[in-house]
Structure 1
Amino acid sequence: MCRWLAYTGTPVLIDELLYKPANSLVVQSLHSRLGAETTNGDGVGVGWYDELPTPGVFRSTEPAWHDRNLHELAEHVRSGLVFAHIRASSGSPVQQTNCHPFRYGRWLWMHNGLISQFAELKRDLAFAVDPELYPHIQGSTDSEILFHLALTFGLHDDPPAAVARAIAFVEHVAEQHGVPYPMQGTIATTDGERLWAFRYSTEGRTRSLYRNTDVATLKLQYPDNPLLHGLSDATRIVVSEPLGDLKGAWREVPEGSCLVVEDGEEEVRPFAPMPFAMV
């Protein structure tokens, strides 16, 4: 599987997210505590927003722990909305176009998990993608197909509903092929202003996902921690596994839920697949 991080809040150097924490994403690339694999060395990617109309994306097939270009970029790019992902392939090739996050217009998308027996389902899933979107698929992963299915089912208009319909379609196709428990994953997507994170699996045993306790509370609990006092109370971090052992700093995102973050406010909603109609 993979590990990922989504950050929104006070603009910070990407280095502060990827390298500085005790259990940073770079540390997790070698020593993941909660992942399906300890090592996530099949590529790394970072997406960020600045004053330009579309997000920047850096993707590399190098393992995060020794990618010098990643380190160089992280020490010089500052952003208030960052996606970062380290990959452990579930079968698709290790190539740059298969590294997350994926981008379409202002949208970013990343995924930890898999569509079971994807090779058997791939044709039917790909043919359901809007023909205008299909040429934008560059890699061969289930994650990128799922992204384009969500775009097909209306990601621009209603992200939770679009993701719910896309997953329902995956489960529908899997049922036709006799594939049990097809969907496993935590997903993050953003339009550069709002952030959505999903935790769902058909089996009901989804990979781990956490969000930070609100920063105002952490400042009260840890008044002598200078790192916290540089962040606004609106800062939110969503991660596959906690970035450190600071007591009370992390809350688990519940199974079968959607976390919505907008303007520093967050809401956790129940999430489940919903009926779809082909467009």
Structure 2
Amino acid sequence: MCRWLAYTGEPLQPSTLILDPVHSVVAMSLNSPLGAEPVNGDGFGFAWYPEGAAHGAAPSRFRSIEPAWHDENLREISRAVRSPLFFTHVRAAGGPPIQQTNCHPFRYENWLFMHNGVISQFAQTKRDLALAVDPSLYPHIRGTTDSEVLFHLALTMGLADDPIKAVGDAIRMIESVGHAAGVKFPMQGTIAASDGETVWAFRYSSQGQSRTLFHSADIPTLREMYPDVERLATFGDHAQVVVSEPLNDLPGAFLEVPESTVAVLDRTGYHHEPFLDAAA
């Protein structure tokens, strides 16, 4: 459906990951071997927390309906800024129209959110799910995607207080409403959320056959494994990437996130936690 990348660590130019790797996110927009669709050309988004921004500050964002591979502004901006945490997403529209408000990442205050996947048969459940969004948050839904409704459901469920529980509660609501409407497998996807300090990366589907998701091994270990790879010197010791597909073919450089798991990444490193149970 889409492809995405999140970075956290020492500040760097986002182009280092968005443009430069052999299998960068922009390259994935043209050719995504592990994706449900090989081409993701229905718009993109790039959002970043500026270097030196105060804790809790809102991120900046640039979105466009142009294909990522064709947009010169993405190249200019990603080379001009530096950021310790950023998201980027390339879209393959699965039904909702191609318009800027439907491009990820979505933003609310200091939170960023993006999704690769689908709420199955969303047209049958959209009304009930949208009406479950807190009335104070509902006006902030600007587009027509299932992903944006999912984000605002998670905000309603307490994303700012307990991100893992809130995303889990939002998905359980989606499954409950979907099952009541006769949808066998209501939820599919990988999700990234951040408050500017931590990245939570979820892999889950009702069917137990989720979209692919990987994150990088820690940089000091990779330097020991590959002392001759000069590119690793670009990254600080705390640099971490979570991405829909590996950015290179170095064995051991990227670790797959298991099904029904959330990967939590911050300056202390990463760890995995069980997330929901597809059989529940």
> What CA distance in whole angstroms lies between the structure 2 residues aligned with 1:85 and 1:197?
14
* Alignment partner of 1:207 is 2:211: yes
Identity %: 57
Residue 120 (structure 2) aligns with:
116
Residue 263 (structure 1) aligns with:
267
Residue 158 (structure 1) aligns with:
162
> What CA distance in whole angstroms lies between the structure 2 residues aligned with 1:244 and 1:201?
26
Which stretch has the larger CA shift, 48-57 or 124-133? 48-57
- Map of 1:1-279 to 2, 5 A cutoff? 1-50=1-50, 51=53, 53-272=57-276
| Root mean square deviation, CA, Å | 1.1
Offset at residue 154 of structure 1 (A):
0.3
Conserved 8 A contact 2:216-2:253:
yes
Offset at residue 245 of structure 1 (A):
0.8
Aligned residues: 274
When normalised by structure 2's length, the TM-score is 0.96
Aligned residue identity for 2:37: E
When normalised by structure 1's length, the TM-score is 0.96
Which stretch has the larger CA shift, 251-260 or 221-230? 221-230
User: CA-to-partner distance for each residue in 1:102-150, whole Å, 9 max, x for gaps?
Assistant: 0000000000000000011100000000000000000000000000000
Aligned residue identity for 2:7: Y
User: CA-to-partner distance for each residue in 1:167-210, whole Å, 9 max, x for gaps?
Assistant: 00000000111111010000000000011000000000000000
Task: Give 3-state SS (helix, strand or coil) of 1:155's partner.
Answer: coil
Which stretch has the larger CA shift, 256-265 or 192-201? 256-265
> What CA distance in whole angstroms lies between the structure 2 residues aligned with 1:164 and 1:248?
30
Aligned residue identity for 2:45: G
